[in-house]
Amino acid sequence: QVQLVESGGGSVQTGGSLRLSCTTSRLENYAVGWFRQAPGKEREGVSCISSTDGRTHYADSVKGRFTVSRDSSGNTVYLQMNSLKPEDTAVYYCAADIRPFFAVQSMCIKPAEYEYWGQGTQVTVSS
């Protein structure tokens, strides 16, 4: 069983930054995605990173503002969020799946593609 541990959420003002972390042992073997869910809305994909070659993908809504990366061990994945907006307010989840990446890259931000999920961390952006 893979247990993902997230951290780094919090409250910031518009334009601020936060860095989320997602970690577990042997995470280097998994593709990792970041998702978010706002109250009353469906869970949506934000970003993802491959397990092997560092390929990444971003939803249009965060492109240019968010950056996903891994540490040197591969066991921690970060989501650096800059220029935050009130519409970024949501519970953020990381998810992992045992595959290098996705044949169709955009599939990596589809929730149904992931087997393991973290508990979520709240991000609140005030105007």
What CA–CA distance (Å, rounded) separates 66 from 49? 12
Distance, CA of 90 to CA of 107 (rounded, Å): 21
Interstrand relation of 31-37 and 44-49 (parallel, antiparallel or unpaired): antiparallel
**How would residue 94 be classed by pLDDT, with cut points 50, 70 and 90?**
very high
* Amino acid identity, position 80: Q
**19-57 pLDDT, tens per residue?**
999 999 999 999 999 999 999 999 999 999 999 888 999
**In one letter, which amino acid is 92?**
Y
Average pLDDT of the residues in 75-95: 97
Nearest partner of 89 among 28, 15, 11, judged by Cα: 11
CB 34 within 8 A of CB 94: yes
* Confidence (pLDDT) at 105: 85
Mean pLDDT in residue range 60-70: 97
* 44 in Cβ contact with 59 (< 8 Å): yes
Which pLDDT value is given to residue 58?
97
The C-alpha atoms of residue 14 and residue 53 are separated, in whole angstroms, by 33
How confident is the model at residue 89, as a pLDDT? Answer: 98
- Whether the pLDDT of residue 95 is over 90: the answer is yes
Q: What mean pLDDT do residues 86-115 have? A: 92
**Contact by Cβ (8 Å): 33, 103:** no
More confident residue, 19 or 100: 19
